[in-house]
Amino acid sequence: MSSDVGSPGFEARSPGDLAPQPPRGWLGGRGFARAALLAVVFVCAACGLVYELALVSLGSYLIGNTATQASIVLSVMVFAMGVGSLAAKPLQRHATIAFAVIELSLALLGGLSVMALYWAFAYLELYTPALVVVAFVLGLLIGAEIPLLMVLLQKIRRQDAGSAVADMFAVDYIGALVGGLCFPFLLLPWFGQLRGAIIVGLVNAVAGCFLVFVVFRRSLRPPVATMLGAGAAAVIVVLVAALVLSGRFEVTARQALFRDPIVAAERTPYQDIVITERQTSAGPDTRLFLNGDLQFSSIDEYRYHEALVHPAQIHPGDSVLILGGGDGLALREVLAYPDVRAATLVELDPEMISLARHDRRLRTLNRGSMSDPRATIVAADAFSWLRKSRQLYDVIIIDMPDPDESATAKLYSVEFYALAKAHLAVGGRMVVQAGSPYFAPRSFWCIVATLRAADLHTIPYHVDVPSFGDWGFVLASDSPVWPTMYQKHPPLRFLTEDVLTAATTFPKDRDKLDVPASTLMDPRILRYAQSEWSLY
């Protein structure tokens, strides 16, 4: 700070103590300058946390494995923040200029971080290395902010170190709170990840420019102010251009991830929904992807859904609960029984429900099941919904996405299956999609073990679904039960009693594995699924 001695606005208050005074012309004087600086600290903290959350969220969408993505981002960024704080020490002599450069760099990189990582994932297949680099540089810049802001705060009004740190960090933590809440409740629903990050970058740039060019404008020499102004204008122009072109970029990059043309896409607070379609000799092949994972192909989905639903022996007058299955295809199979009294479907994502009801491709495949008067559609988390509901069902069908993310692993736990069992009527049956015993054998047999740990009798079985490969299911009940079909089942394209009998037989190299059950506190299924499906 010695380089500022003698500059306009500074005078010696006592021997050995040089205290800054706000230059003439500052609006509101010293009080305004201090309040403005703390407001900028607040905004910078909010922006910094949004950058962190955006990287974690993007990784969970593109890669899955939210816990690993969060660990990589947070650990790398926190480490880099420490490095950035140390690196800022030599810059304190020119705090105003250094802060301007760092803030503009942070706004540019933070605003474009999601776009850059999406590009690396779609075109280069270098997502994780790119994530580490981006997280480190962002952390480096964020870490350099506080030391420089502390110097600028002392320029306005010198105070003891403890009080200055308390003021700075109080505002910083409050800003982080606001940024953390704005990300899921404001930015994601209104703007999405790509545009949300760019908008935050613009806010970050404007806040930095306000502090430098309004509050500390007189500490900048004209040539320096001109250069910084040009840099600020360039950053804002780039971010605005990125915002304008973000829609086109997202469509192009997303298409690069899929073999077939994308005909519908929605990014919701819960997942990335993509529908593709191409013409084949057998007709249109419509495919649904959730967070990049294939959910079905219209060419052979009937094999999967017939094997999922009909071995539960649905009888006239039965009430049926479907957990998951927001595409309406399992519900279609249930409602094919004309005497089914009622069917309830619980799906987490309202946008998935809307697509299943209104998208002509899905509506054709599910035969309008989502609008059937016998069907009750509930948008809710299945785990929470089971805890509140008191209704009993004759058949429960659990058609959840694979347990390769923290959010879905709880739906394959002893606790979840025990909750589901409590909703089974006397003699009721439960069917669970259990992944592939061929590609993910530990995951498959872990689900079987978990159902048994919930005090359910189980019969595992598997069928061939060409778009998936060998796929497994588990029939469960509170009393011994064997997979069979009600004798008055509707016409089926694939499943017969002979096929179902053969499905209960596993070859020697795919026979039962002795693996422990998965619980909320020890989600073994998550570790198995992540290791096995990553190889696949």
Q: What is the pLDDT of residues 508-532, one digit of tens each?
A: 888 889 999 999 999 999 888 888 8
4 pLDDT more than 80: no
Average pLDDT, the chain: 90
Which one-letter amino acid corresponds to residue 453?
Answer: A
Q: Helix axis angle, 127-156 relative to 29-62, nearest 10°?
A: 170
pLDDT interval class at 536 (50, 70, 90): low
Which residues are CB-contacts of 501 (< 8 A; sequence separation ≥ 6)? none
Q: How far apart are CA 416 and CA 56, in angstroms?
A: 26
Please state the rounded mean pLDDT for residues 419-439: 95
pLDDT for residue 449 = 97
pLDDT interval class at 82 (50, 70, 90): very high
pTM given for the model: 0.81
Q: How far apart are CA 200 and CA 10, in angstroms?
A: 35
Report which of 405, 461, 407 is spatially closest to residue 431, judged by C-alpha positions: 461
Burial of 494 (C-beta count, 10 Å sphere; 0-12/13-18/19+): middle
Q: What is the pLDDT of residues 177-231, one digit of tens each?
A: 999 999 999 998 899 889 999 999 999 999 999 999 998 888 889 999 999 999 9
What percentage of the chain has pLDDT greater than the value 70? 93
Provide the 8-state DSSP code for 169.
Answer: H
Which residues are CB-contacts of 484 (< 8 A; sequence separation ≥ 6)? 311, 313, 497, 500
pLDDT for residue 296 = 96
Which residues are CB-contacts of 370 (< 8 A; sequence separation ≥ 6)? 328, 331, 345, 353, 356, 357, 363, 377
Q: Helix axis angle, 95-119 relative to 188-210, nearest 10°?
A: 160
- CB distance 349 to 407 below 8 Å: no
Q: How far apart are CA 353 and CA 377, in angstroms?
A: 8
**Strand, coil or helix: 427:** strand
Which one-letter amino acid corresponds to residue 3?
Answer: S
pLDDT for residue 10 = 37
Question: Residues of CATH 1.20.1250.20 domain(s) within the chain?
Answer: 30-256
Q: In the chain, count H helices and then E strands.
A: 17, 13
327 pLDDT more than 60: yes
Provide the 8-state DSSP code for 431.
Answer: E
CA distances from 506 to 198, 265, 460 (A): 52, 38, 9
Which one-letter amino acid corresponds to residue 381?
Answer: D
- CB distance 80 to 137 below 8 Å: yes
The number of CA neighbours under 13 Å toward the Cβ of 389 is 21
pLDDT interval class at 390 (50, 70, 90): very high
pLDDT interval class at 6 (50, 70, 90): very low
Written as one string, the DSSP assignment of 359-413 is -HHHHHHHTTGGG-TTEEEEES-HHHHHHH----EEEEEEEPPPS-SHHHHGGGS
- CB distance 349 to 379 below 8 Å: yes
Domain spanning 30-256: CATH 3.40.50.410:
no
- CB distance 502 to 306 below 8 Å: no
pLDDT for residue 477 = 95
Q: What is the strand order of the sheet 283-290 is part of?
A: 262-267, 272-280, 283-290, 293-297
- The pairing of strands 424-433 and 457-465 is unpaired
pLDDT for residue 534 = 57
Which one-letter amino acid corresponds to residue 44?
Answer: C
pLDDT for residue 482 = 81
Q: How far apart are CA 501 and CA 109, in angstroms?
A: 58
Q: Tell me the backbone φ, ψ of residue 386, rounded to 5 degrees.
A: -65, -35
Rg (CA), the chain: 29
pLDDT for residue 24 = 42
Provide the 8-state DSSP code for 214.
Answer: I
Question: Residues of CATH 3.40.50.150 domain(s) within the chain?
Answer: 299-535
Please state the rounded mean pLDDT for residues 386-394: 96
Q: Which of 8-22, 157-171, 364-378 has the lowest mean pLDDT?
A: 8-22
Which residues are CB-contacts of 207 (< 8 A; sequence separation ≥ 6)? 39, 40, 43, 44, 47, 103
Domain 299-535 in this protein, CATH class: alpha beta
What percentage of the chain has pLDDT greater than the value 90? 72
Q: What is the pLDDT of residues 86-107, one digit of tens each?
A: 999 999 999 999 999 999 999 9
Burial of 479 (C-beta count, 10 Å sphere; 0-12/13-18/19+): exposed
Among 399, 455, 498, 522, which one carries the catalytic annotation? Answer: 399
Q: What is the pLDDT of residues 57-70, one digit of tens each?
A: 888 878 776 778 88
455 flagged as catalytic: no
Q: How far apart are CA 68 and CA 318, in angstroms?
A: 42
**Strand, coil or helix: 260:** coil
pLDDT interval class at 7 (50, 70, 90): very low
